Structure formats: structure tokens, C-alpha cells
Structure 1
């Protein structure tokens, strides 16, 4: 298997900003974290600008876009499908935008978009983002109906939510985790057949990423919380490189 067929590794730096925001001030600097991730070999940087700005601030996004542009590294902006975020994304012009569901009371993004139920709302927003030069992905559950609905929009990518898979393994429910993996495989094949690129993300760790990385349609993994957490103990460079090694070995063995 050639190096080009390996999944890209996008590093989500939201939780560097979470640590900064817990005390206020400027440290740790998420843009410096993005620079370190790029130097460690990240293929892209992901950052979520939420309505309540609990992670990234508007200025962070501007500086991240400038950094990623200068390094020829894609910035993937996660955002809710709102007029405010559409306006910000239109000015920012990131390489990629992942539309995610967002609820004020959640700790992090929980579950996927209901594309099938919101297709009339999502489609014009996606079209405007496309016209502005962004590559749009939709964060969804591994559900055939949601994939089929996504293919009816102008989105080019679906990112399959891996949270339930990660939670099943945390709970010791291997049977449930294996069933979800089967859903991933079937839905990834369906998505690709409909012309959608397939990404995966949420809750992935050194211990659980390999079976997901081995799925042949997987073109990108977006991982943040775990990598930033492990960086406390082993450093960001080492955490990214170890994740890359596990992903590479899993894909090459598939």
C-alpha cells in the first residue's frame, strides 16, 4: 500500500483553548499548538468556533487561518449551521468546513446532524460555503438514511461520528463496538459509492483507532481531545507521531 493511500490525520486543537480559557489570559496559545502539531506532521488543523466561544475565539480562527495558509496546511473549521457562523466562515475562507450539531448544554459535540430532517435548511448554507471556496463536510451518524440525504446536498464529505463506538469499548461492550464497526464499513462503502469522501472522528484513542483506520474508504481521521490530553504526559510531538504510527500500521495491515 502506498503512502498516498494512508488516511490523513487532522489534529483538533480546541482543548488547548479550553485550558487557556479556564484561567483567562493568553496561555497556552492554541495557535502555537497548531504550529507544533504541523511540525509534528499533522496533515490538517481542526478548530470549532462555537456560539458560546467556549473553545476558540474569533481572533484565534483568524490567526489559525493565517498560519495554515502560510504553511499550506488545511484549516478545518467546525461550525453550526447558523447565519452568524456562515458570515464568519465567508470572511475567514478556511479550506474546509465541517457542519456539526450544537447544543449550548453539551460538553462537546454529541451525536450527528439530522441531515435528512434539515436538508432544506442545510442545502443553501452548504451551497454558499461551496461558492466561497470551502470543502464542506457533514458530521453524521453511520446511518444509511443520513448518508443518502447528505449526498443530495452539495457537501463533498461526510464525517462519521465515532463516539458511540468509543463509549462501547470504554464500557467493555465489545459486541456493540463490533456491530458499530460493521455499520461504519457498510456506510463508508455506501458514502463512497454516492460520491462522498469519508472521514471519521470523535473519541478516538491509541487503543481504539486501528479498526477505524483500517476501513479502506477512510480518507481522514480528526482527533483532538485524546491527543491534547496525552500531550500533557508525553508531549504533543510524541503523541501525534504515535497516533500516526498506529494509523499507518493498521492501514497497511488491512
Structure 2
């Protein structure tokens, strides 16, 4: 089934829970299969340099088991490029990565690293991997992503969600306006637009309503909500809200 707005489910934090105790459970691959059955259009997994959640064997397991596309989140390093070229996932989302951060903070500085990133993504594109750049809704960054030949961008919704959580509603509305403008700019440049980071039931509707957006990637909230309602129910409710907003 082809949807106007796809949902990618990030299963990183199933691995976080597993790694907190050690051993093999809960299994991120099992979570990915449950997500597929519940209506996810794709699975996202971030293999960090320090392997704090997803591990190399998880990527191999996902590639072997899932039928929906794998979106492989990765830093722009030689090690990650080699792993991506080895597995050849459907998509590779290039993200900034710092060891001290708890989660991905802010977007990639494509404008400040244009030549290196253009060279870095070329082998991925040549291998048939759909490359996405994870960036802020900044006109310079969007234009730079188009110039280096990335067919997809994922706009960082973290600030939009943080302002909502903090009750800073004017800043929240301003950030939404930036995301709307960024999505339009990107679409006008021929880029496919995705969004993600920090989205939940309360914040997803205005983002899902942006007509240029083709995919949302949501993870931490869904895995947390699954503790209380189960993963299938959490994904089902998110899909319902997305489709209601789109309609």
C-alpha cells in the first residue's frame, strides 16, 4: 500500500532497553517486525559510533528479516560508509553525532561542509542507497543539501517539540512556521521532505498536515508509549492522527 504520508518507526530504544541489562532481550528485530505488522511503512535504526543502542548484528538482522525499507541513520564517517555499502539499505540518513549527546542535537551543517559531504554521499548514491540529510529548517542548509545531490532531507523537529513541552507557545508557533517554509523551499528545489525528532501524539498533527512532507520518523515516544499500551496500539494511534491530519 502506497501512502501519501509514510511512518518510519525508529527501534533504537528497544536496543537501549536490551543493553541496559545485557543479553539479547528485548530484541530490536522482533520490535521491527511488530512495527511492520502494525502499519509502519519503514524501519529506522541509528548505528552510533559508540554502539550505545543499535549494534552491528542488529543491522544485519534487520536487513535479513524486515520486508519494509530500512532507513540506516549514520554519521558521515568512513566506518559507517563502509557498513552502509556492505548492507545496502534502502536509505541512509546522514546525521551529526557527538559522543557526549544523549540524542541527536540539531541538524547537520551541510553548508559548512559541502565539499566533503558531496564526496561522502556519492558512493552511497552510486550503490542505489537513497541518501537523506538530517538538517534544521534553515534556508542555507536546505539549499546546500540540494547542491550536493542529496535527493531527500529530513527536517529536525526537536526545537518545535521542545518549545511545546516547555509551554513556550510563541516560539513553538514560530518554529512550526520555519518548518512549513523549509518544506516548501525543499520541495521547490526538487527534494523529498521528511521530518522527525521528538514527535508525539500532541505535536504530530500540525507536522503531518504540511502537504510537502512525505515521511515522518518517530521512535522514542512510540517505544515509551508501548510500555503502557503495546507497540501495535501506539503505532496504530500515531497512524490515525497522521491520516486524520492529512485528510
TM-score of the pair, normalised by structure 2: 0.99
Unmatched tracts of structure 2, length 5 or more: none
* Alignment partner, residue 163 of structure 2: 168
User: Aligned to 2:209, which of 214, 231, 239?
Assistant: 214
SS at match of 1:176: helix
SS at match of 1:215: coil
* Alignment partner, residue 58 of structure 1: 56
In 2, distance between residues paired with 1:135 and 1:55?
23
Alignment of 1:94-133 (within 5 A): 94-133=89-128
**2:73 paired with 1:75:** no
Runs of 4+ deviating beyond 4 Å: none
In 2, distance between residues paired with 1:249 and 1:201?
18
Measured against aligned partners, the alpha-carbon deviations of 1:54-85 in whole angstroms (never above 9, x if no partner) come to 011101001101112xx2x1000000000000
* Alignment partner, residue 147 of structure 1: 142
User: Aligned to 1:238, which of 191, 216, 233?
Assistant: 233
SS at match of 2:65: helix
Unmatched tracts of structure 1, length 5 or more: none
In 2, distance between residues paired with 1:194 and 1:5?
22
CA deviation after TM superposition for structure 1 residue 5, in Å: 5.5
* Alignment partner, residue 182 of structure 2: 187
Backbone CA RMSD of aligned residues? 0.9
Measured against aligned partners, the alpha-carbon deviations of 1:180-224 in whole angstroms (never above 9, x if no partner) come to 111111110110111100000000000110000000001000000
CA deviation after TM superposition for structure 1 residue 4, in Å: 5.0
**2:23 paired with 1:25:** yes
* Alignment partner, residue 37 of structure 1: 35
TM-score of the pair, normalised by structure 1: 0.96
